[in-house]
Amino acid sequence: MSVPAELRRVFWIWLILSAIATPLVVIFVGPQLPPGSASDAAHGQQQDNTVMVAIVVPIVIGLLLYFGTTLAKFHSQDEQEALVDGPPIKGEARVMLIWIVSTFVIVLFLATWGAYELFPGEAGAGGGMGPTPISVALPAGASSALPVQVIGQQWTWTYRYPTYGGLETTELVLPVNREVRFSVTSIDVVHSFWAVNLAVKADAVPGTSNVAFVKPVREESSTIRCAELCGLWHGHMTSRLRVVSPTAFRAWIAQQRLKWAPIQRYLPRVAPTYAPEPTYRG
C-alpha cells in the first residue's frame, strides 16, 4: 500500500520542525532547566532533564501536527452533517505498528538510561543513600569528603562539623570544589533536607543517618528547605546555604568556633544520630 501524499507531507514537516526545534531547545532552554549547575549532582540532573526535554520536543511537534491536520482536513462545513455520526473507522495496522514500536523504543531507552544515571552512572548524586552506602555508589572523593551532620527539628536546621570539634551552627557554609558528605538525621519527626541549588535531597528520619554526597563547584548563596510536611510551620523551615572559597571557609569556621564556644560543652558528642536531652537544647 502506498503512503498517502497528505501523510508524507505531514511527515516531512514534522521531520524538518523537529530537526530545527530540538537543537534550539537543547542549546537555549537546557542551560536554564533546574536545578542548575552549582554542584556536580546538579549539573548531572540538569543534563538528564535536557535529554528528556529533547526527547519530548519531537513528540509534542508530532501531536500538534496530527491534531492540526485532523482538524483542518476532517472538520465539517455543514452544521447538520456535523451532528451525525460518520461511518465507523477500522484500525489502521501501519499506524498502530508505528505507534507501538516508537513508544516501546522510547520507554525502553528512558528506563535503561534512567537506571544507569541513577546507579551506578551518577555515583552518590545528591540523594540519600541510607546510613551505609555501598562502595560502588560512592563518589571518587568520598574518603576525603568534608563530613557535615544535618539535624532537622521543628522547625529549623542546624549543622555540625565533626572535624572542627563538633561545632554546631545555624547556617550551612561549604568550601567550593570539595566533596561533602552529608549525614542527615532528625530529633523529632520526619523532615526532608533539600538543598535546591546543590540538587541534594535526603530524608531526615529520627534515629537514622541518611548519607548524601555532593561537590559544590560554584560560589553562591541559596536557600535550604524542608521538603516533607512536618507540622504547622513546615513552610517556614528554611535555612541559608553559602558556598565560599576555602580561605573564606576556614575564616568562617574560626569565627563560629569563637562565637559558639560558651555552649559547646553542653552539646553531646558527635554520633550518627542526634538526640540530646531536652535540657541541653534549652
CATH code, domain with 204: 2.60.40.420
**Contact in structure between 165 and 264 (CB atoms under 8 Å):** yes
- The verdict on 117 and 162 lying in the same domain is no
pLDDT greater than 90 at residue 76:
no
AA letter at 54: A
Q: Whole-angstrom Cα distance, residue 151 to residue 168? A: 10
Q: Which residue has the higher pLDDT, 125 or 69?
A: 69
In a domain, 142, yes or no: yes
pLDDT the model gives residue 123: 47
User: pLDDT tier at 60 (50, 70, 90 boundaries)?
Assistant: very high
Cis before residue 276, ω within 30 degrees of 0? no
Phi-psi label, residue 85: left if phi above 0, alpha if psi -120 to 50, beta otherwise: beta
pLDDT the model gives residue 243: 95
For all residues of the chain together, what is the average pLDDT?
83
pLDDT greater than 60 at residue 222:
yes
In a domain, 83, yes or no: no
Average confidence (pLDDT) over 109-119:
78
pLDDT greater than 60 at residue 1:
no
Average confidence (pLDDT) over 121-127:
52
- The verdict on 21 and 47 lying in the same domain is yes
In a domain, 81, yes or no: no
In a domain, 129, yes or no: no
- The verdict on 211 and 145 lying in the same domain is yes
Q: Whole-angstrom Cα distance, residue 57 to residue 1? A: 30
State the Cα torsion 256-258-260-262 to the nearest 10°: 180
User: H or E element: which one contains 264?
Assistant: helix 261-264
Report how many domains make up the chain.
Answer: 2
Alpha helices (H) in 25-39, listed in sequence order: none
* Residue numbers of the domain that contains 39: 5-74+93-121
- The verdict on 222 and 107 lying in the same domain is no
- The verdict on 210 and 261 lying in the same domain is yes
Cell reading at 152: 532537622
Q: Whole-angstrom Cα distance, residue 109 to residue 25? A: 20
- The verdict on 201 and 225 lying in the same domain is yes
